[in-house]
Amino acid sequence: MSESLNQQLAELHAERVRTWAPEALKINVDQRQHLVDQARTLDFVKAGDSVEPFELLPVEGGTLTLQQLLANGPAVLVFFRFAGCPACNIAIPSYERTLQPALRERGVPLVAVSPQVPERLVEIRDKHALTLQVASDKDNTLGRRLGILYSFDEASRQASLAKGSGIGEVTGTGTWELPQPAVVVIGTDRRVHFAEVSPDWLVRTEAQPIIDAVDALLASTGQQARRA
């Protein structure tokens, strides 16, 4: 039996414990714990919320609107930080293997969303030969609306700059803001039917609860799983 997504992320942390300098590890652990402790959970997107029209920028070019996503049924958005994020390079390929086939069978689009500019974001799609869609949330517009953004703390900023550039240069956004990992299932009624946000980016939603939420939504609306 293959390892769960969170088992793989736990192994990433364990490797860092073994190999990173203690001061670097402390900065990483402290930032994640701070985000958990200070999480503004009441601001997080939640089931029942209405989703206003939005526009994403697919790495292939053009635009992807909420209307297009919901044209044939519900849609699933998975927010991640940026193409070079080690945890994201575990999570997004995991969703490709465990979530994308089930959603494709049901005719439900899966979009991995990051604020990173499209020309840099294409890296993660090509590296893992992703068939799920990868799109940019320009200026964190949607992430801000969903209440899932965070900013680097001072220690993390200094550590990032010490490596040669701030995260804003890496993403092309020019800011220190990134989305916290989040999964959002949106129905054709433009309402959120499932949402989970993880302030700690080494903890992510497993595929099965997402599939279950999609199946419950399809059943509640009398839709059958549509084979693409």
Instruction: Return the axis-axis angle of helices 207-220 and 88-98, rounded to nearest 10°.
Output: 50
Binned at pLDDT 50, 70 and 90, residue 221 comes out as confident
Q: Rg (Cα) of the chain, in Å, rounded?
A: 17
pLDDT in tens, 47-65: 999 999 999 999 999 999 9
Q: What percent of the chain has pLDDT over 70?
A: 97
The pLDDT of residue 57 is: 98
Q: How many CB atoms are located within 10 Å of the residue 219 CB?
A: 11
Higher-pLDDT residue of 222, 217: 217
156 contact partners, CB below 8 Å, separation of at least 6: 27, 28, 31
The pLDDT of residue 98 is: 97
Place domain 5-220 in its CATH homologous superfamily. Answer: Glutaredoxin (3.40.30.10)
Q: Is the pLDDT of residue 215 over 50?
A: yes
Q: What percent of the chain has pLDDT over 90?
A: 88
Cα–Cα distance, 142 to 32 (Å, whole number): 22
The pLDDT of residue 227 is: 39
Q: Is the pLDDT of residue 225 over 50?
A: no
Cα–Cα distance, 63 to 56 (Å, whole number): 6
The pLDDT of residue 38 is: 92
Domain ranges of the chain: 5-220
Q: What is the pTM of this model?
A: 0.94
- Lowest mean pLDDT of 108-112, 151-155, 161-165, 207-211, name the range: 161-165
pLDDT in tens, 112-164: 999 999 999 999 999 999 999 999 999 999 999 999 999 988 888 898 888 87
Q: What number of CA atoms fall less than 13 Å from residue 24's CA on the CB side?
A: 11
pLDDT in tens, 167-182: 999 999 999 999 999 9
The pLDDT of residue 223 is: 65
Q: Is the pLDDT of residue 228 over 70?
A: no
Q: Is the pLDDT of residue 1 over 60?
A: no
Token pair of 193, please?
């039917």
The pLDDT of 40-50, averaged and rounded, is: 97
Q: What number of CA atoms fall less than 13 Å from residue 87's CA on the CB side?
A: 21
Instruction: Return the axis-axis angle of helices 5-19 and 22-37, rounded to nearest 10°.
Output: 140
Contact of 21 with 185, CB cutoff 8 Å: no
